[in-house]
A and B are shown apart, each in its own frame.
Chain A
Amino acid sequence: DTGVSQNPRHKITKRGQNVTFRCDPISEHNRLYWYRQTLGQGPEFLTYFQNEAQLEKSRLLSDRFSAERPKGSFSTLEIQRTEQGDSAMYLCASSLAPGIFYGYTFGSGTRLTVV
């Protein structure tokens, strides 16, 4: 098992463009999470999947953001009409359910810069 994999590692985009990030969790983990981290802050929760079902979305996730996890495997996070305020590190994590006795495993993140 190679851990949680995120692609791309870095993305620079112009304001107004759409971007999509991919996360491949640890294969036996059925819970998948997206977090966002801005400079000097701790990561903040964005959304959570159990298998293919998206069970919660943070208020941080505006209508321009959408996440999917088809067939409960990899996940994608799409940002439409990017804004400079979207510049951040986007982190994906996975865990086993029920999860309360297990820790999270995070990926290396995707660094988004909107210019």
Chain B
Amino acid sequence: KQEVTQIPAALSVPEGENLVLNCSFTDSAIYNLQWFRQDPGKGLTSLLLIQSSQREQTSGRLNASLDKSSGRSTLYIAASQPGDSATYLCAVRSNSGGSNYKLTFGKGTLLTVNP
């Protein structure tokens, strides 16, 4: 059974700092990994999707890497801003077993960027 862990559970940084969020998963047989952002009481906004054959994806100040063999992904946020404050969720789509359409989520990292 796939399990996804996100470290740290919470992170508080001053504005302008570069930061890294970590995600690990137990089963390396995955199709892809997706990073989401969730504002308090809101739904999920997709940030980046990395296919299993890819090493990284970039969008603006965000860069996500994937090391499938070691079961790890990182989300790098450059020059953080107060508007980046949110919960960041990592989700993997496994290709083992018959349920290859499900996403397995971590519990998220609550990021606070202080002005």
Contact = CB atoms under 8 A, between A and B. Distances in A.
Given A99-B101, A100-B31, A103-B49, A42 B108 contact: yes
Given A42-B4, A45-B102, A101-B51, A109 B43 contact: yes
Nearest to B45: A106
A40 B31 contact: no
21 contacts: A6-B43, A31-B101, A42-B89, A42-B105, A43-B44, A43-B105, A48-B101, A89-B43, A91-B43, A91-B44, A93-B44, A95-B101, A100-B95, A101-B51, A103-B34, A103-B46, A104-B34, A106-B43, A106-B45, A106-B46, A111-B41
A33 interface: yes
A62 interface: no
Contacts of B32: 100-101, 103
B43 A44 contact: no
Interface residues of A, number: 28
B94 to A, nearest CB: 10
A51 to B, nearest CB: 13
Contacts of A25: none
B103 interface: yes
Interface in B78-96: 89, 91, 93, 95
A108 interface: yes
B105 A44 contact: yes
A48 B103 CA distance: 11
A95 B46 CA distance: 12
